[in-house]
């Protein structure tokens, strides 16, 4: 993994600046299916005891996560990994920290079937929804085979595709508005490139498009083994999907284990443990200013109305 990092650092950092792209203004979605998915997203009927909805851990008015180190599921059960934001998840190359879901549909099934989260069985959820005249009717209008586990996941995924946050100040800066971000944020972006952060945090989502080991230059003391839990391969120990930095100022605490409460702490840690670089307090402040410029607009589709 260190060798990989050295190879990447040997490439032109300027090349990576070019691959950060603005979030598009909209996504193409099937509106009726997305509307159904929105209703399901906010409905605790998906959980075994009717107390937990997708929105419980993904608060769309506060960054798309729940602001907790670890989320709570049914019966007060506490998880062991930080809930990522649902915003802009459509741009991730895989879903979940360990990448076990290849797309949003697979991701949608995960929490429903997880005994610590919603504690249900999605096929039993389908049977429950069939008994709801309103849900049963809507599914049969939109899907030839009506209410199925796959169609539930498809509708939720279609809604989640619409949860993008365009028009961040940095996106406006990328489009040519020099005044969209502060001089400190511009310096932060320069440092973001110079220190090497951009090697892993690039693309439309400023991350979310590759895996990397957590703790390259120093042992990060992670109790979660990451990809190893999925593959069983020794080289995948402590390897996680690189998270998106979009709206990062709204999604504390940070890291897969939620160990840091502030961006300053997270930036300092990542610079030292991932990049093996020295960083000053002034440089941290500048990079944080840049990160704050990645906060986009909450989409209309995130409203509570179903």
d(CA 12, CA 171) in angstroms, rounded, equals 22
d(CA 224, CA 214) in angstroms, rounded, equals 10
Strand, coil or helix: 161: helix
- CB neighbours of residue 174 within 10 Å: 16
d(CA 203, CA 182) in angstroms, rounded, equals 22
Question: Which of 292, 65, 50 has the alpha carbon at shortest distance from 186?
Answer: 292
Question: Which of 271, 218, 213, 217 has the alpha carbon at shortest distance from 242?
Answer: 213
d(CA 265, CA 166) in angstroms, rounded, equals 27
Annotated active-site residue 187? The verdict is: no
- Active-site choice (30, 106, 117, 283): 117
Which residues are part of the catalytic machinery?
117
């Amino acid at each position: 993994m260190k060798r990989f990092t050295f190879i990447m650092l040997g490439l032109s950092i300027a090349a990576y600046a070019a691959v950060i792209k603005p979030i598009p203004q909209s996504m193409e979605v099937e509106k009726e299916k997305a509307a159904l998915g929105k209703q399901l997203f906010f409905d605790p009927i998906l959980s075994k005891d009717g107390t937990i909805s997708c929105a419980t851990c993904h608060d769309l008015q506060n960054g798309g996560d729940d602001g907790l180190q670890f989320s709570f599921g049914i019966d007060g059960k506490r998880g062991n990994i930080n809930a990522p934001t649902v915003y802009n998840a459509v741009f991730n190359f895989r879903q979940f920290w360990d990448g076990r879901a290849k797309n949003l549909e697979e991701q949608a099934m995960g929490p429903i079937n997880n005994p610590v989260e919603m504690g249900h069985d999605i096929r039993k959820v389908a049977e429950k929804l069939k008994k709801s005249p309103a849900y049963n009717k809507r599914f049969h209008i939109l899907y030839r085979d009506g209410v199925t586990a796959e169609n539930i996941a498809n509708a939720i995924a279609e809604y989640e595709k619409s949860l993008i946050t365009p028009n961040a100040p940095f996106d406006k800066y990328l489009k040519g508005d020099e005044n969209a971000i502060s001089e400190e944020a511009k310096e932060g972006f320069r440092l973001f490139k110079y220190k090497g952060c951009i090697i892993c945090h690039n693309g439309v989502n400023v991350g979310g498009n590759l895996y990397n080991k957590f703790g390259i230059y120093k042992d990060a003391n992670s109790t979660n083994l990451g990809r190893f839990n999925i593959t069983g391969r020794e080289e995948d120990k402590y390897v996680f999907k690189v998270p998106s930095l979009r709206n990062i100022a709204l999604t504390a605490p940070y890291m897969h284990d939620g160990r840091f409460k502030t961006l300053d702490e997270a930036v300092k840690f990542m610079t030292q443990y991932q990049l093996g670089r020295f960083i000053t307090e002034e440089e941290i402040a500048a990079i944080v200013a840049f990160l704050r410029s990645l906060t986009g607009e909450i989409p209309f589709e995130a409203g509570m109305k179903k």
